Chain A
Amino acid sequence: ILNVEQSPQSLHVQEGDSTNFTCSFPSSNFYALHWYRWETAKSPEALFVMTLNGDEKKKGRISATLNTKEGYSYLYIKGSQPEDSATYLCVNTGGFKTIFGAGTRLFVKA
């Protein structure tokens, strides 16, 4: 079983704040770590796919890092905007398993 834990469960920030959340997973049987953004009433959208220890990816104000040896990934948002409000899902695909975290629900107040 490749349990994926995300923290915090929810987060309220002010516009302009920078924030980060955590995804942790067992380091064994790891193949790829995905981050998705899921806005209400829309489809989850892929942000990053990372496979190598030490991977760092960036997309605009959002970036992510991966540590496969200790089993965690961080997602960072710089200068949060109201449109960043969404649920951020972390997914660990290992072998024949695809395990989702419960997500971090981000609320950005203008």
Chain B
Amino acid sequence: GAVVSQHPSWVICKSGTSVKIECRSLDFQATTMFWYRQFPKQSLMLMATSNEGSKATYEQGVEKDKFLINHASLTLSTLTVTSAHPEDSSFYICSAKKTAATNEKLFFGSGTQLSVL
């Protein structure tokens, strides 16, 4: 089956530093990758959609200069939280699709728990 690897699983950082999270599709080429955030006891919220070789599309309310997304290849997308602050502490998770079809299922990473001190 399709596997998506996400690293790191958890990270603790100081306020003001930047954190990079990687999302890799191990055995397939991902046309599209998605990044989500989940605060405690809330739903997963889509942050942005990225397609290989093009700029990410951010959801309303998500700061593109703060959450930098790079999708340089068909198997790797990265999310960088720049100048992280305690309010950025959250669970971040990625998913990937093999094709752009709406009825294509999503393959998820295992998520990253970010704690900003």
Contacts and interface: CB of A to CB of B under 8 A. Distances in A.
Contact of A102 (B43, B46, B102, B108): B43
Nearest to A9: B41
Contacts of A46: 105-107
A4 B45 CA distance: 12
Nearest to B94: A43
A34 B43 contact: no
Main secondary structure of the interface of B (DSSP, over half): loop
Interface string A76-102: 000000000000010101001111111
B36 to A, nearest CB: 8
B106 A34 contact: yes
Contact of A31 (B43, B102, B108): B102
Interface of A: 4, 31-32, 34, 36, 41-46, 49, 51, 89, 91, 93, 96-103
Interface of B: 4, 34, 36, 41-46, 57, 93, 95, 102-111
10 contacts: A32-B103, A43-B107, A44-B106, A44-B108, A49-B104, A49-B105, A93-B102, A98-B34, A98-B46, A100-B43
